[in-house]
A and B are shown apart, each in its own frame.
Chain A
Amino acid sequence: MERTLEFVNISKAFPGVQALNDVSVQVKGGRVSALMGENGAGKSTLLKILSGDYVPDGGCVRINGEEKNFTSPYQSIKASVSVIYQERQLLNAMSVMENVFIDDLHESKFGFLNKSELRRKTQEIIDSFELPVKPSDIVGHLSIAHQQMIEIMKAYRRDSDIIAFDEPTAPLTDREIAVLFRLIGKLKERGKIILYVSHRMAEIFQITDDIVVLKDGQLVTTFETSQTNEAELVKAMVGRDIGDTYAGIRRNDKIGDTLLEVKNLVTEDINNVSFTLRRGEVLGFAGLVGAGRTELMRAVFGADPVISGDILLEGKSVNFKSPKEAIDSGIALCPEDRKTQGLVLSRSIRDNISMPVLPKLSKRLFMDTKAEESLAASAISKFAIKTPTAEKLTLELSGGNQQKVILGRWTSNLMDTKILILDEPTKGIDVGAKAEIYQLIHDFASQGIGVILISSELTEVLNVSDYIIVMRSGRITGRLSRHEATEERVIELSMMD
């Protein structure tokens, strides 16, 4: 019998965002089905509903025609579903075998663990994954790539009918990717249902049979992989209006003298990187996740230690020991993860905007409440932050508005920001808000601010930046002007060894 998996009219909302809206998809056994879409399209949410981690607001999941309403991961595993999460869910202090057999530790008679059996079975799986690790190795001591393979082993071992991979290859090297694809091929031959989420086009065309495209929580279309091509796929993913979004940007064309010069920078994660940023320039950093772009910027910002190399700000050598020193010199960083590094979610919009300028808002001993309120009010009106009051907690804002609060923090009139570093500024933000943020980036540039834009979305970094630097494994692998840069070229540079 052929296996089928159906999502029927699935909807799911989170505070401030409709993650999935009436999505219906059917996939079949013996085929690899890709889930494609931009960040925030709803792919991960769909997988989490499949795994029982989230309960949908509406709709249901059908496996082989039978309706399933998972309310816990346990039920989903029992129904022969395995999901490999993008955020690895490993027990770092425990051994490989205990991680692989996390939900099925073998017991002998008397209820004791059968460790030799566990070891033997784990070794078998390790052998089929061709990994140089031992079943008793502690997972936390392994490299990230090997940890990722352990995460995949967990699902492989269950021999589930349905296996979902969420960006499995991001931390893997080519060798492991080859092994993984071979294993996926075997699973396919055995008639399993395989869902595959990835941002890497080449992979999609290499191993998938069908492609399901999601956008902003809605199903766009489905393709047979052999019947489509990259251009058509990209068009479906980004939607028709995306070209207009970029075309509509009023670009800044006044690029001035050199503002920041980084020479031969070396840190724990960065290997000998040099680049320059000019006034009014939007400098894009492209690359895969983990290429070292975030780490590079944190080092420039004084958040992580520099081992060697020079940083020149307006021609003067600087050596920031803390973010505070960088901020005082006019550098601002909007971190990659708004919620854990950008905002203090339990505090109000006002508190989050005034954060770096508290000393300037002090009159003698006390805070100047009026000045602080007008600062917040001006940011709210300037960036059109949707909120009834500056007292609203940032926790309660949508992603786009949260990002605007951080932008408002760094560009208030009390700040003298010369360099604005934006790390994935549009992650998890809807299309409308993205367009606003692109325009803001160029507005900043036209004020003479040098903007560094880190983005993993290719179209974004290509269309918004004036100049593009591509990184891989802590090194710069390419420098392209806006006119030279094409998607193919950047992908090639960000993946080459």
Chain B
Amino acid sequence: MLIVGVILIVLGVPALIVGLATLLTVGNYSLSVSLVIFGVIALGLGVLSVLSNRRENIRRAIRKVVGKKEFTLIVVLAVIVYIFWMINHNYITLFNVRNIFNAAFVMGTLAIGGACLLIGGKIDLSAGSTGMMAGVIIAMLLGMGIHWITALIITLVFGAVTGLINAFFVNGMNFVPFISTLAVSSVYGGLARVMTNAQNIPISSQEHPVFLALGSTNIGVFPLPFFITIILLIVYGVILSSTKFGRRVYMVGGNSTAARLAGINPKKITTLLFVNNGVLASLAGILMAARMHSGSPSAILGSDLDGYTAAILGGVAFVGGSGSMLGVFIGIVLLSSFQNGLVVTGLGAYYRVIASGLLLIAALILDYFRENSRIRALRKARHDS
């Protein structure tokens, strides 16, 4: 450990110096920035490993951080960003970063609700069509001249009712969530087109400027929906990690029998999660409608799968009981910056689809190896004891 640290410091210091010097004088941008990045990382790691050699608590802290799923993800994200930036420096410009976050909010909102359900051990494939229905409903309500706040509330209630329906099927009738939510999705898909005759329903900018502003207002440089997503991530992160309800979600998803025997009602928890997912899906649909100035019977469909992809990328276990909102956030950023990066690099749209798939599969395989090493460590610990 000590030797590695010393070597890293020895390599890092000159790299940093040369990088800074060239950055100021020569102006070979990518090489010198790379050198600076390498120098900082090497120096940082070097100092840490030298320190950890001396102090037990630092070593333990490092091991704890490195052992987290989120750490791996951040490293992956950093590598991806670095590679794309090397290929095309326009990748990290305000304009493009804004693009990335702009594209992420629908998927992000759906990912939050979906991740909560996954952690609780269930899945809802109707979120996309619920969002779509919500967009259509609010556009129609606004078209009828209803005040936008009333329309907003009605639409959110619609989402909650959808969640209740799904929860009733899964908890009350013991349907497999995968199949019953798909059925609900099919019903909504049809209904939305029946209601709109498969046409977009425009929202008039004269009559509802405030509502449309929801989708287009910028706070600083970023649009409002992006901030809403971020706030939701923080709120749900706090709920999951530091409230009784949040911890119960993990308990129910991790071992529903244990939770039940400890007096927790798993059905109550999952019902709330379904309702929550319905509400978030409608919110995504509403914001999308505000941004597009219309309710569309085809918008958002499929974004729920993207949301699940992001959540799983972010380390939410498909079988329930683990995952965090920080992970989901990283998953959202990872997936959208990856997809955007592929665009920026000029790679054909078709290769982008494949690349996203490879990313997801790689994340899943990584998970397998991490789980394997954990089991091995566990077995070793048992043998020693």
Q: Which residues of A are interface residues toward B (Cβ below 8 A)? A: 51, 53, 72-74, 76-78, 83, 85, 89-94, 98, 102-103, 105, 107, 111-113, 115, 140-146, 154, 268
Q: Which residue of B lies closest to A140 (CB)?
A: B378
Is there an interface contact between A85 and B261, defined as CB atoms closer than 8 Å? yes
How far does the alpha carbon of A115 sit from the alpha carbon of B244 in the complex, in Å?
Answer: 11
The answer to whether B89 has its CB under 8 Å from any CB of chain A is no
Partner of B254, one of A92, A103, A142: A92
The answer to whether A89 and B242 have CB atoms under 8 Å apart is no
Binds A, one of B147-155, B262-270, B342-350: B262-270
Apart from A91-B254, A92-B254, A94-B247, what 16 extra A-B contacts exist at CB < 8 Å?
A: A53-B261, A72-B265, A73-B260, A73-B262, A90-B258, A91-B255, A98-B251, A102-B251, A102-B259, A103-B262, A103-B264, A111-B243, A113-B247, A143-B381, A143-B385, A144-B382
Q: Which residues does chain A contribute within 8 Å of B258, judged by CB atoms?
A: 89-91, 102
Nearest Cβ on chain A to B254's Cβ, whole angstroms: 5
Residue of B265, B374, B385 with most partner-chain A CB within 10 A: B385
The answer to whether B251 and A94 touch across the interface, beta carbons within 8 angstroms, is: yes
How far is it, in angstroms, between the C-alpha of A268 and the C-alpha of B265 when the chains are bound? 39
> What 5 A-B pairs come out closest when comparing CB atoms?
A89-B258, A74-B263, A143-B385, A102-B262, A103-B262
| Size category, B interface | 20 to 34
Which residues of A have CB within 8 Å of B257? Answer: 89
* Smallest beta-carbon distance B152→chain A, Å: 26
Q: Which residues of B contact A145 (CB under 8 A)?
A: 385
Check A93/B250 contact, CB under 8 A, given A73-B261, A73-B262, A74-B263: yes
A77 and B262 contacting across the interface, CB-CB below 8 Å: yes
Q: Known contacts A140-B378, A145-B385; is A105 also within 8 Å of B244 by CB?
A: yes
What's the Cα separation between A93 and B377 when bound, in Å? 15
Distance of A314 Cα from B55 Cα, bound (Å): 59
The answer, yes or no, to whether B32 is at the interface (CB within 8 Å) is no
| Whole-angstrom CA separation of A142 from B243 in the bound complex | 25
**In the complex, which residues of chain B have a beta carbon less than 8 angstroms from the beta carbon of A94?**
247, 250-251, 254
Choice from B260, B263, B321, B385 contacting A91 with Cβ under 8 Å? B321
B379 within 8 A of A: yes
Interface of B is mostly: helix
B322 close to A (CB within 8 Å): yes
Q: Can you offer 30 A-B residue contacts whose CB atoms are under 8 A?
A: A51-B261, A73-B262, A73-B263, A74-B264, A77-B262, A77-B263, A83-B261, A89-B255, A89-B257, A90-B255, A91-B251, A93-B321, A93-B322, A94-B247, A94-B250, A94-B251, A98-B250, A98-B251, A102-B258, A102-B259, A102-B262, A105-B244, A112-B242, A113-B243, A113-B244, A140-B378, A141-B374, A144-B382, A154-B262, A268-B379
Q: Which of A74, A111, A141, A268 contacts B381 (CB 8 A)?
A: A141
Interface residues of B in 253-309 (CB under 8 A from A): 254-255, 257-265
User: Which of B109-136 touch A at CB < 8 Å?
Assistant: none
Query: How many Å from the CB of B89 to the closest CB on chain A?
Result: 42
Contacts of B382 in A (CB 8 A): 143-144
Q: Which B residues touch A268, using CB under 8 A?
A: 379
| Complex interface: chain A residues within 8 A of B260 (CB) | 72-73
Please, which residues of chain B bring their CB within 8 A of the CB of A76? 263
Identify the closest chain B residue to A271 (Cβ).
Answer: B383
Closest B residue to A151 by beta carbon equals B258
Please give, as numbers and ranges, the residues of chain B lying within 8 Å of A93 by CB-CB distance: 250, 254, 321-322
Identify which of residues 307-324 in chain B touch chain A, using a CB-to-CB cut-off of 8 Å. 321-322
Contacts of A91 in B (CB 8 A): 250-251, 254-255, 258-259, 321
Residues of chain B with a CB closer than 8 A to A112's CB: 238, 242-243
Residue of A51, A72, A83, A112 with most partner-chain B CB within 10 A: A112
A107 and B255 within 8 A (CB): no
